[in-house]
Structure 1
Amino acid sequence: MSDPSTLGAGSSGVRRAADLAPRRGAELLLELLEGEGVEYIFGNPGTTELPLIDALLSTTQIDYVLALQEASVVAMADGYAQAARRPGFINLHTAGGLGHGLGNLLNASISGTPLVVTAGQQDSRHALMDPLLFGDLVGIAAPSVKWAREVTHVDQLPILVRRAFLDCAAAPSGPVFLSLPMDMMEAMTTIAVPERSTIDTASVAGSLDRLADLLASIPPGRLALIAGDEVSARGATGEMVLLADALGAPVYGSSWPAHLPFPTAHPLWSGNLPTRANEIAEVLAGYDALFALGGKSVITILYTEGSAVPDTCRVFQLSTDVRDLGRSYPTELSLQGDIQASLRVLVPMLRDRVAPRREAHDRAAAGHATAMRARREALAAQADREAGQAVTTPLVAAREVLRAIGPKIPIVDEAIATSGHLRSLLYSETVREYAFLRGGALGWGLPASVGYSLGIGREPVVCLVGDGAALYSPQALWTAAHEKLPVTFVVMNNREYNILKNYMKGQAHYLSRASNRFIAMDLIDPPIDYLALAASMGVPARRVDRAADIAQAVEAGIASGLPNLIEVPISV
């Protein structure tokens, strides 16, 4: 994602109005995109997008990435933006195409992914006649984006496109939307492409001296740090490590993460919080205070009675997004400011204040590191025991896949059955290795991994996806084959909606618990042939029935340098 301190950095070679012959709005749009450094347009074209498609013949700087359905379009751009750390650009097809993409647009909004989303609109000169393909694009997009506008004159393009790229990347980052009527794309103009603005958004929070006093007063070992997704999105992981080391405090990830914003190999990493309020409260009951960095760090999914934060636990916050400060839990002190810039000021203050109790803080940190090593050893022992079973369990599948992937190849994860085990087992010095479905709308993983590979220069990526999730946007396999991207797709196939069954089994008042019968949760009649599905999209595929063969299959898939799919049957 864009470096917040350099949004809109100046560019050279901008053509002036006196140098410009009249050109169509679509050609002007491409000039603006080139100026923004856009590499790819992610889209699926229809008639209303034909002016832009035709104009692409005049540029060699921007490639069009064709997806076969708009849900895949949006997720590919999302994966690209997360990997490249710059806004992704999308072109959808009218109201229907925008509607197809809304699920993954919601995912991008919740994840804070910077996207400039456009859609072709009918020619505005006959909009009054309710022509086919006309729709209220602004109204459809508005609930899922930071703002939505329609271009009503071709000369508005420079301002609106510039605003779109700046605003989608500015904190809190997220998608914005522009509707592009056909006549605006066909209209002639001589307007110039303006110089880019230089904007420094790295504001330092106020009251940091007061926060330092309060945090330093908490007894060693009694403060928990929560690193939200904003930590990695704003490039503050290094500062987060320094904060943890200064306080000797354990670091938890958010309960439903888009990334892992702290190195999982660090001795103070404590894993992600649970997703139920009562379970989060159990974790936090061991602390006198928590310091949450980044918004939406404590997320609950299924209801349980009581607060996730115990009454005895003091709460401190730091985020760029004022809307998340003090929103759900009363806080003793919440600060608004850029996390990286603010921690650069806060950490030296804390070092000075905790110096008299340095040894106590170090002992607390060492004790926590010992406990974490014991937890990892226990998990490894459990995996060893399960490896001897006749079926491949989710824990064993996660371990075997990680053995092949290693600590550097990026993982795009939408395999809910194995994701918790995978995060617990991941041992990496980098925070750039893992991306997870944040929004909860399935159909993100396959296409996001395609975009992720593009965002890191067509390097290898491993995509883990559940069998159910794989069916929401399987068209992404075709794009991977078409672009010849080195993505290894691993389908964790339990032939059911396992997470739903497990929840129902835990509810005493559900009939399914007593009868062990579940409606609309099995994918076995008929069984789905993922190998044939992949082959139909031009992707070679294989099935691995033995746990001992998983790592070798994934290694071979990565080494092939081409898209490939591996089906792994799993069972609880």
Structure 2
Amino acid sequence: MKPIEALLAVLREERVTKVFGNPGTSELPFLDALVDTPDIEYVMGVHECAVVAMADGYARATGRPAFISLHIAAGLANGLIGLLNAGRSRTPLVVTAGQQDRRHLIQDPMLSGDLIGLARAAVKQTFDVQHAHDLPLLLRRAFAAAVAPPAGPVLLSIPMDLLAEDVDVDLPTRTTFAPLGAAGGVAEAARMLLDAANPAIVAGDGVGREGATAELIAVAEALGATVFHQPMHDAVDFPYAHPLHAGPLPPVNAAVNKALTGHDVVFIAGAHAFNPHHYTPVSPIPESTAVIQLDSDHAEPGRNFGVALGLVGGIKATLGLLADAIGGPAPRAAERVEASAARHRTRVAEHDAAARAVYGPAPFDPFAAVHAIVAGLPEDVVVIDEAITSGVLFRKVMSFDRPGGLVHTVGGGLGWGVGAAIGTAMGTDRPVVALLGDGCTMFGLQGLWSAAREQAPVTFLVMNNGEYRTLKDTLDSWHSRATVTGNYPGLDLTPSRLDFTKAAEFFGVPSVRPTDLAHLTEIVAKSTQSAGPLLVDIPITGHPSHA
């Protein structure tokens, strides 16, 4: 078996049916081989930011590692922002970057570079393939490493001449890994939770990734525990409509501390705790609170603060065993459920009333706009959220109840949402809607080319306020000179509001701008039944002037 044949054989055995890439000269041997490989589709993007984001969305939708082909140092550099996002979101990706022909690397040829050094900070593991007989084994290692806790992207650097070598290589057998079993210490965790006067749970994205939502619900209901989502959560880890759900924690340690105050035991399940955004000189855990932390990554429990009990094992298996160990309802569980349900009903009603109170003509208040969007969404929708400030409002009025209904990245690399939505649509039969900030859309605009080419059934909702509002809000919280003067240098996408319908037209994507909020609801409802892409340019009000 030749090296290129071994590569294709490994891809087939790893159930790879799509390659996400933007090609260059160093990938030509691979592209040539795909001519006779109809079972593996090459999904092309015109910028590596969109390419990696598409693969990210696809991997999360299918639950399998996605395969990416990048071109040499420059292409890898363009894709790094997506790899940083994937690492933060624990998305398994196997990335190859073509290197120049080894026979002239010593001459520092154009486009060559230190691919391993370039990628090392953005991926969990790198493989520098230098010998043809090593390629199949290192590919096997790469796929295994991508899914091993904590999952994430891995990179292989492959010289173009290696794939063209006319030598025979062996194909190692694929290793099948058993699911992680339950952690030890479950009986002690159950005892601590049953003895708690006011327990709370933090539902982390590991719960959603491992499909353990039902098991976490069983634990929460048996205890009557208040359940918070982890800050800026990437998935649906606990149903929003459940009476025990208290919403997501803010991404600030001081605010987390305040929310958890009064809870004597907190059970953190599958959360990279706690991803603080802005610094505050406070621990997220109140002094009088004991923490039980469960994760499939042995490095997570106790990583950022001391825990009374750390559990390492499969999240789904451990939560199932924990629910059994807790058994029937804990003392006062019914009382806590009713109290939590009352708070939940009040919070939902307040958010709904607040959104309805600001309905009006365009440009729309962002809270009213997201409320109108929610009114048009089908029950089984998958929402890709990269809307920053509007996204926070959206989560106040949207009830994410079905697993897989939310896809977000806490990585912070803008431009992810457009490509992620396209990849998600390739991996699911559910309707896909991307809620995007206008600044985020600008970073990932080239992804619209792939949306048109693939006829991806995605509704792109661009929340167009003509500014970086989240940064203005942050400056306001600091009581800065910008707040006093109303002058925010570098934070406006003006002098004229960007017209995203023209950008959509350029890339071949149909577009529309709503005339009123009822029209917006109607557009969303109809577009989610469409067989192709649609961009909706939604004019919303910006940051209030303090001048």
Which TM-score tier does this pair reach, normalised by the shorter chain?
Answer: over 0.9
Distance in structure 1 (CA, Å) of the matches to 2:499 and 2:362: 22
Q: Does structure 1 residue 521 correspond to structure 2 residue 491?
A: yes
Question: 1:555 matched to which residue of 2?
Answer: 525
2:362 & 2:150 partners in 1: Cα distance?
Answer: 48
Paired residues of 2:236 and 2:400 also in contact (CA < 8 A): no
Q: Residue 242 of structure 1: which of 218, 230, 243 is its match?
A: 218
* Conserved? CA contact 1:291–1:317, under 8 Å: yes
Contact kept, 8 Å, 1:460 with 1:485, in 2: the verdict is no
Aligned with residue 484 of structure 1, among 440, 450, 455: 455
Q: In structure 1, what is the equivalent of residue 397 of structure 2?
A: 425
2:239 to 240, 257, 263: 263
Counterpart position of 1:16: none
TM-score (norm 2): 0.96
Q: Is the 8 A contact 2:133 2:170 kept in 1?
A: no
- In the other structure, the counterpart of 2:87 is 109
Q: Deviations over 1:226-284 (max 9, x none)?
A: 01111111121111111111111121111121112111122211110011222212211
Q: Is 1:341 equivalent to 2:341 in the alignment?
A: no
What do the CA deviations read for 1:306-360 (whole angstroms, capped 9, x no partner)? 22221122111011112121111111111111111111211111115x55x2xx2
Aligned CA distance change for structure 1 residues 545 and 417 (closer, same or farther; 3 Å): farther
Percentage identity across paired residues of the two chains: 38
1:533 is the counterpart of 2:503: yes
- Taking only aligned residues, the RMSD between alpha carbons, in angstroms, comes to 1.4
Q: Give the letter for the 1:498 counterpart.
A: R
CA offsets, 1:430-474, max 9 Å, x none? 1211111210110100000010001115x5311111000101121
Q: Distance in 2 between matches of 1:390 and 1:256?
A: 29
The one-letter amino acid of 1:266's match is: H
Pairwise CA distance, 1:388: 4.1
Quote the Cα distance in structure 2 between the aligned partners of 1:151 and 1:460: 40
The CA distance in 2 between the partners of 1:153 and 1:305, in whole Å, is: 51
CA distance in structure 2 between the partners assigned to 1:214 and 1:505 by the alignment? 42
Residue correspondence of structure 1 range 206-225 to structure 2 within 5 A: 206-219=184-197, 222-225=198-201
- The structural deviation recorded for 1:482 is 0.3
Pair 1:321–1:427, CA change in 2 (3 A): same
Map 1:4-23 onto structure 2 (within 5 A).
23=2
Contact 1:407 1:428 in 2 (8 A): no
Q: Which residue of 2 aligns with 1:372?
A: 344
Quote the offset at 1:389 in angstroms. Answer: 6.5
Q: Structure 1: which 4+ aligned runs deviate by more than 6 Å?
A: none
From 457, 461, 469, the equivalent of 2:432 is: 461
- The equivalent residue for 2:274 is 298
Is the deviation greater in 291-300 or in 332-341?
291-300
How much has 1:406 moved relative to structure 2? 2.6
Q: Secondary structure at the match of 2:7?
A: helix
- For the residues of structure 1 that align with 2:541 and 2:62, how far apart are their CA atoms? 36
Once the two structures are overlaid, the 10-residue window that deviates more, 553-562 or 360-369, is 553-562
Paired letter, 1:465: L
What secondary structure is seen at the aligned counterpart in 1 of 2:462? Answer: strand
Alignment of 1:343-422 (within 5 A): 343-351=319-327, 357=331, 360-388=332-360, 391-422=363-394
Distance 2:489 2:401 in 1: 43
**CA drift at 1:505:** 1.4
Aligned match of 2:545: none
Unaligned runs of 5+ in 1: 1-21
Deviation at 1:545, TM superposition (A): 4.1
**SS in structure 2 at match of 1:327:** coil
Instruction: Answer whether contact 2:230 2:248 (CA < 8 A) is retained.
Output: yes
Q: Does residue 445 of structure 1 match 2:417? A: yes
3-state SS of 1:261 partner: coil
Structure 2 residues without counterparts, runs of 5 or longer: 543-547
Tell me the distance in 2 between the aligned counterparts of 1:63 and 1:246.
47
**1:525 Cα deviation after fit:** 2.3
Q: Is the 8 A contact 2:236 2:401 kept in 1?
A: no
Matched, 1:310 2:286: yes
- Higher deviation after alignment, 329-338 or 199-208: 199-208
Q: Is 1:176 matched up with 2:146?
A: no
Cα deviation code 1:140-160 (max 9, x no counterpart): 111111110111111212211
**In structure 2, the residue corresponding to 1:31 is in which secondary structure?**
helix
Residues of 1 paired with 2:338 and 2:344: CA distance? 10
Q: How many positions carry a matched residue from both structures?
A: 542
Shift of 1:520: 0.6
Look up the match of 1:282.
Answer: 258
Match of 1:126 in 2: 104
Query: Equivalents in 1 of 2:389, 2:79: separation in Å?
Result: 25
Mapped to 2, the partners of 1:224 and 1:70 lie a distance apart of 42
The answer to whether the 8 A contact 2:65-2:92 is kept is yes
